[in-house]
Structure 1
Amino acid sequence: MSAPTSSLLIEVVNGALVIRHWGAPILGQNHDIALASRVSIANSSWDEPQLPGLMRESARGFLGRPSLSGHRNGKAWSTKFEVTDFHHQGNHCAVTLRDFHAELEVIVTFDLDAFGVLIQKATVKNIGNSDYVLNEFIHWLPLPREATQNLDFAGRWSNERQPQCRDIQIGTWVRESREGRSGHNFSIADIALTAQTSFQSGSAWATSIAWSGNSHYLVERGFDGQQSIGAGELLLAGEVILKGNESYEAPALFAVYSSQGLDGVSAAFHSHLRAREIHPKRPRPLTLNMWEALYFDHNESKIRELVDVAAEVGVERVVLDDGWFHSRRNDRSGLGDWVVDPAVWPNGLTPVVEYINSKGIEFGLWFEGEMVNPDSDLYRAHPEWILHEGDRTPPLWRHQLVLDLGHEEAYKHVLEQTSSLLAAHNIVYIKWDHNRVLVDAGHLGVAGVRRQTQAIYRLFAELKKRHPGLEIESCASGGARIDLGVIDYVDRFWTSDNNDALERQTIQRWTSQVIPPEMLGTHIGPTHGHQTGRTLELSMRAITALFGHAGIEWNITQATAEERANLATWAKYYKDNRALLHSGKSVRIDYPDEHGYLYGVISADTKKSIFAYVQLTPTVTIHPASLKFAGLDAAANYLVKAVYPAGKPRFMLITPPQWMDGITMSGSALATIGVSAPILAPANAVLIEITKL
């Protein structure tokens, strides 16, 4: 199976399904690859080379972690699958493997798209009569020995997706997420690299699991030198027990090989996601979220005042956040009671929704339907509807418990109350939050995380079916549910609760490693950041918010006249350029100075580019490294200039570089010589337009 950027070579050897190669494209005559791959007979080892294949089985001489683990009341614990059906057409392959002793069938499919994204799926079926307890199923892919580094991401609330890298050594490295959601500490991708791989060049092998519940990523290197990368759903004890003829469908694995560094991985993921029929097609509306403007102080006159300013600066969508529903004056009560609070909204939401719509602005509303406060009418009526084990009540987190959506009546309660509100008002958008982890998450005596994850997918799908055109934002205390599982049900992710533009630089940089920027909420926060207490220039906050689905989360009624004017020019710039920002190729330059980032987006025809140069920390030398721009048409001439859609940054210089007023250079000169970097104050940014002449 071949794409322009990668190949997958699989074959059947002695009944085993063997992946010979996943990586760079293979051309020419290759009949002797199997012979070329045959290893020596080593001392104190197998008398014949063993090929454990995709299932990585002990019965085939494999001494590492198998793909499938389970048993039948202690028996059928070891498997030896044989390929019984093999269908291959173009870049699709479906393989059936059976073990008649263990009475199991596994169907594995491989699909390689034109962008080099490999989608691997698997279904495990019990073809016996007794129950089969499935402990885990992991998708594995081989890694060549030149892959010596492993990059993944760690994080916490307001500091998601921080990169961490380590050597691949003998043993098994496992990253687990046990939050019941993908999580702040979820590694959105696991990437193997060579020692030389950078953003722009070198090989990278990336995997991402399409699942929003518990998961794990693995890298394993055996003492024989063979190494692999894998991922799968992390199943809790007894979570999957297959009765006769029942099946388990494993979450899909998305995998990308790139010979063009980490940006090549991003380009493949972005292109694949943008090619989906369900990918957001309409221009991403400039959004004002009211949370950091109002918090729980909901007041119709304040909201009208805020909306007036929003209309003035060019906002296209307004979202009313937490605090609108029954008894919700703080975060200690009300969750679960999804009815408009008459104490705050004596006339209901209709007047304010109509007022917002009269300004030509869409209206969106916040929900957190998976959670319940003990102080709520719902919990008082149905305490049994929470996820719990035995007679225990899980510890509170943000004064919340988790509503068991695997319980059909609880599911119907959330669905019907939410749907009724959408039907009664012109609500085109909902922000759906998930503010706590799942612990002791039992459903009627059994582990319930998998069932909960499937239920939220089902609920989102049903809401969209009932309300055509509805868009959903996935929020989980910020960026704790961003993954390739929920992405098929939502239209936007809230990237992080941290609106501090300096912190957002890294958070957005690495979230977009997999997710295209038009699906990432990026807001201009308050002048004095609510999460860090840092004060930042409007130009810095605006440039940071530009590279995503842009918005504002700030009480702009308190903005000065100059700030409002700058917001208006920035809003127009966003609208004028979002077609490029949300369709072009994302580029992260390997900038040599640690103090700065240089990144941007280039149109498919290379006619127009927008780059940001960001000074994160003070420079060590007087003059920062030159700004060099990769990815342009080398033979073409370009106009290069700085632009200031939200005002100028704070410079630390007497005279800025003259090119900032406009200069003509070739694409090759911009890539090899570049332009001199301005000296910016720390935590400042400048925007650069590059236009083909």
Structure 2
Amino acid sequence: MIHHLRASGVSVLVDARGAGVPAIVHWGRDLGRLDDADLASLADASVPAVSPSSIDVPLRLSLAPSLSDGWSGRPGLSVAGERPVDLALSLRSCERVDDAAAQRLAISVTDAAASVDLRIDLELTAHGVLRMRHVLTNVGEATLHLGAAASVAPVPDRARELLDFSGLWANERRPQRLTPGHGVWARESRHGRPGHDDAFLLAAGTPGFDFRTGEVWAAHVAWSGDRSLWFERSALGPTTIGGGELLGLGEVVLAEGETYDAPWLVLVWSDAGLDGVSARLHPWVRSWSTIDGPRPVVLNTWEAVYFDQSLERLQPLIDAAAKVGVERFVLDDGWFRGRADDRRALGDWFVDAETWPDGLDPLIDRVVAAGMDFGLWVEPEMVSRDSDVAREHPDWVLQPVGSPTWRWQNTLDLANPAAFAYVLGRLDALLSEHPIAYLKWDHNRDLLATDAHRQTRAFLRLVDALRAKHPDVEIESCASGGARIDLGVLERVDRVWTSDTNDPLVRQRIQRHTSLVVPPEYLGGHLGAARAHTTERTSSLSFRMITALFGSAGIEWNLAEAAPHELDAIAAWIELYKRERGLLHSGVVVRSDDADPGVLGHGVVAADASRALYARVALDSAEAALPAPARLPGLDPDRRYRVRPLPVGGEAPTIADAPPSWWAAGEVVLTGRVLGEIGLPMPLLAPENALLLEVTAV
């Protein structure tokens, strides 16, 4: 049978006829209604020629391509017993179940001689997101060693240009583009977490694709450990995109009856550029998100006081936070036993009696009395050699003695049941003994040890177990900033720390690209001090505020040292955020394609296109004295809109003798088509500044 899955302008055709593993015939633009005869004709007509010096039957790319099929490209499946096994899988069944959320295929195939059963899960969500994964079971007596269980999908030959990402600490999600020839372009993470240089999203598209233009086929591995993404153009067969967990030698060994569930490979097609990818992913994520309320304004103490904690030191910060309208006060690193600096005490999750002689309750009481809830920083997966827990249980430390530390710390072996129980017990006790609404859950080093698979699975079990015990506690995923942001961890948390930098110039690019996959309500972005602690760059208050507005907003600044006029501006900014977070966290994220590399534009448009907020950012000096007008994408072309500047944190500095006439008038009314195609001239911003525009349908 040929299955035609259709949703939100997307078609996926799966040919499950015959005795072999089913194959994807088409994944992309909706093909409309096709009857059984049409589907059969299409599938038959898609069979390619037999090329010279090749296998003597047409090459067919199945959902589990193998050497026995004639596939010599990169395989998704790799299995070995005493010797490597060339799987020869045959179809047992293909069951389809459709509901409002998705159309699903459960494809069962087997290789009786190799004692392998494989279930291929494929689903097309109502939002047009395609997901695939393998579930492999050993049905024989002999042990099986799994080398890979990744998913592979075809993409058209016209998808010639690639985009993925790299990065560094405090500078994640840096885009890189290339046009590969024949061969494999592979991005692999061996950090025990995705890492700061995570490929994040691999997009293959028509040449020149951008945020608003071009056809794109994109892939993301929903997994928080080692992973692989690749794109392959072959001189001998179809072009493919694939991905899955990156497994080391011996990491997954299956005894009789044991099963390996692979992570999902999330695939998105768009004919509206990268914004079209976001337009499918964001509503899909929101359909299962753990977030169930407005994103509170957070104040985190880290860059305000670092390890210098005491009730007396924090009381002025509590007072200032309450005055400006902060809703959540988070105590960062330094609260637990013996933690005087970053070289000791990780793992000893008991309140420090010297820093907090009366415990945390006096602090929490004052925070709650000031109208805020309380959050706490933890790093449960890590341990210091100089800690009671490491001295008492050296076998709980994953890295051997003498191996390099990373940020002066090691990893606790969560796959050890005793270590797992200890960490879960301590976190449970903290949340049971104190009214803690929120955990900032950090992960500050690469694993640099074997068996990342077991550690990652144990981490996910730990989060699940803690959430089961404390379902009302929110969790933020942090990994020395943005080194663990993926759709797997997003199922379990309510916020991610996008990057350790609060420098708005760097943040603009990081947030722009992280939001390709992750909706803005998850993206923690903080208003820092004028001088960024990670770059030493000084930025205007307005630029910092506009940058932090487009996400889950917060503050990381010692407000007790802020000037009165700064506190007044912060209070007004928080009031704006509270008023607009309904739009910012439910609307459609749009980004403009600007030819000038020194200019950046982005915004959020309400689902009904009645309102929008846009930021225009000067990253650098403009290329021309009169830059091109700023186009405002995503509006209803046939509605009329009032556009007006929205001052934030004071006037942004300009370098022109006079602003554009519409700006001087205070507003202009034009159609969405005009605003999207022609745009509006903007004031000539000084570099490293931004403007905010409010757009309202009239």
The two structures share one fold, judged by TM-score above 0.5: yes
Give, in whole Å, the separation in 1 of the partners of 2:54 and 2:236.
10
Cα deviations by residue, 1:361-405 (Å, 9 ceiling, x for unpaired): 01100001111111111111111101136xx54311111010000
Which ranges of structure 1 fall in alignment gaps of 5 or more residues? 442-446
* Preserved contact between residue 478 and residue 484 of structure 2 (Cα < 8 Å): yes
1:505 aligns with 2:508: yes
Give, in whole Å, the separation in 2 of the partners of 1:14 and 1:97.
9
Greater shift after overlay, 22-31 or 266-275?
22-31
Give, in whole Å, the separation in 2 of the partners of 1:412 and 1:123.
28
* Preserved contact between residue 98 and residue 104 of structure 1 (Cα < 8 Å): yes
- Deviation of residue 14 (structure 1)? 4.6
- Deviation of residue 436 (structure 1)? 0.5
Which of 148, 151, 154 is 1:136 aligned to? 148
Give, in whole Å, the separation in 1 of the partners of 2:677 and 2:481.
39
Give, in whole Å, the separation in 2 of the partners of 1:468 and 1:16.
41
Give, in whole Å, the separation in 2 of the partners of 1:326 and 1:138.
43
SS in 2 for 1:269: helix
Query: Quick one: which amino acid aligns to residue 433 of structure 2?
Result: A
- Deviation of residue 672 (structure 1)? 2.2
Structure 2 counterparts to residues 23-62 of structure 1, below 5 A: 23-29=28-34, 30=38, 31-62=40-71
Could you tell me which residue of structure 2 aligns to residue 236 of structure 1? 248
Which of 102, 113, 122 is 2:125 aligned to? 113
Could you tell me which residue of structure 2 aligns to residue 127 of structure 1? 139
- Deviation of residue 281 (structure 1)? 1.9
- Deviation of residue 28 (structure 1)? 4.1
Which of 407, 412, 420 is 2:416 aligned to? 407
Cα deviations by residue, 1:592-613 (Å, 9 ceiling, x for unpaired): 2211111100001111100000
Give, in whole Å, the separation in 1 of the partners of 2:183 and 2:672.
46
- Deviation of residue 270 (structure 1)? 0.4
Could you tell me which residue of structure 2 aligns to residue 79 of structure 1? 87
- Deviation of residue 663 (structure 1)? 1.3
Could you tell me which residue of structure 2 aligns to residue 526 of structure 1? 529
Query: Quick one: which amino acid aligns to residue 484 of structure 1?
Result: L
Which of 148, 165, 171 is 2:177 aligned to? 165
SS in 2 for 1:423: helix
Which of 310, 314, 321 is 2:325 aligned to? 314
1:175 aligns with 2:187: yes
1:559 aligns with 2:562: yes
SS in 2 for 1:357: helix
Which of 444, 447, 457 is 1:435 aligned to? 444
- Deviation of residue 173 (structure 1)? 1.4
Could you tell me which residue of structure 1 aligns to residue 374 of structure 2? 363
Distance 1:418 1:28, change over 3 A: closer
Structure 2 counterparts to residues 333-344 of structure 1, below 5 A: 333-344=344-355
Greater shift after overlay, 657-666 or 562-571?
657-666
* Preserved contact between residue 72 and residue 131 of structure 1 (Cα < 8 Å): yes
Distance 1:311 1:483, change over 3 A: same
* Preserved contact between residue 441 and residue 478 of structure 2 (Cα < 8 Å): yes
Give, in whole Å, the separation in 2 of the partners of 1:429 and 1:2.
40
* Preserved contact between residue 16 and residue 51 of structure 1 (Cα < 8 Å): no
* Preserved contact between residue 5 and residue 258 of structure 1 (Cα < 8 Å): no
Could you tell me which residue of structure 2 aligns to residue 444 of structure 1? none
Greater shift after overlay, 311-320 or 164-173?
164-173
Give, in whole Å, the separation in 2 of the partners of 1:156 and 1:173.
21
Which of 19, 26, 36 is 1:21 aligned to? 26
Greater shift after overlay, 664-673 or 579-588?
664-673
* Preserved contact between residue 394 and residue 439 of structure 1 (Cα < 8 Å): no
Could you tell me which residue of structure 2 aligns to residue 678 of structure 1? 683
Could you tell me which residue of structure 2 aligns to residue 651 of structure 1? 654
Give, in whole Å, the separation in 2 of the partners of 1:296 and 1:490.
26
Identical amino acids, percent of aligned pairs: 43
Give, in whole Å, the separation in 2 of the partners of 1:382 and 1:279.
35
Structure 2 counterparts to residues 401-480 of structure 1, below 5 A: 401-441=410-450, 447=451, 449-480=452-483
- Deviation of residue 225 (structure 1)? 4.5
Could you tell me which residue of structure 1 aligns to residue 669 of structure 2? 664
Give, in whole Å, the separation in 1 of the partners of 2:267 and 2:669.
40
SS in 2 for 1:599: strand
Structure 2 counterparts to residues 340-351 of structure 1, below 5 A: 340-351=351-362
Cα deviations by residue, 1:263-317 (Å, 9 ceiling, x for unpaired): 01011110100011x4312000000011000101112112110010011111000
- Deviation of residue 503 (structure 1)? 0.3
Query: Quick one: which amino acid aligns to residue 388 of structure 1?
Result: Q
Query: Quick one: which amino acid aligns to residue 302 of structure 1?
Result: R
Which of 363, 366, 371 is 1:352 aligned to? 363
Query: Quick one: which amino acid aligns to residue 571 of structure 1?
Result: I
Cα deviations by residue, 1:311-334 (Å, 9 ceiling, x for unpaired): 111100010000011111110111
SS in 1 for 2:13: strand
Give, in whole Å, the separation in 1 of the partners of 2:389 and 2:21.
54
- Deviation of residue 662 (structure 1)? 1.1
Query: Quick one: which amino acid aligns to residue 143 of structure 1?
Result: V
Distance 1:425 1:89, change over 3 A: closer
- Deviation of residue 16 (structure 1)? 2.7
Query: Quick one: which amino acid aligns to residue 87 of structure 1?
Result: E
Query: Quick one: which amino acid aligns to residue 20 of structure 2?
Result: G
1:9 aligns with 2:13: yes
Give, in whole Å, the separation in 1 of the partners of 2:481 and 2:530.
20
Give, in whole Å, the separation in 2 of the partners of 1:39 and 1:341.
69
SS in 1 for 2:570: helix
SS in 1 for 2:579: helix
Query: Quick one: which amino acid aligns to residue 98 of structure 1?
Result: T
Q: CA RMSD in A?
A: 1.2
- TM-score w.r.t. the length of structure 2 is 0.96
Query: Quick one: which amino acid aligns to residue 689 of structure 1?
Result: E
- TM-score w.r.t. the length of structure 1 is 0.97
- Deviation of residue 46 (structure 1)? 2.5
* Preserved contact between residue 640 and residue 659 of structure 1 (Cα < 8 Å): no
* Preserved contact between residue 273 and residue 279 of structure 1 (Cα < 8 Å): no
Give, in whole Å, the separation in 2 of the partners of 1:367 and 1:255.
33
* Preserved contact between residue 170 and residue 222 of structure 1 (Cα < 8 Å): yes
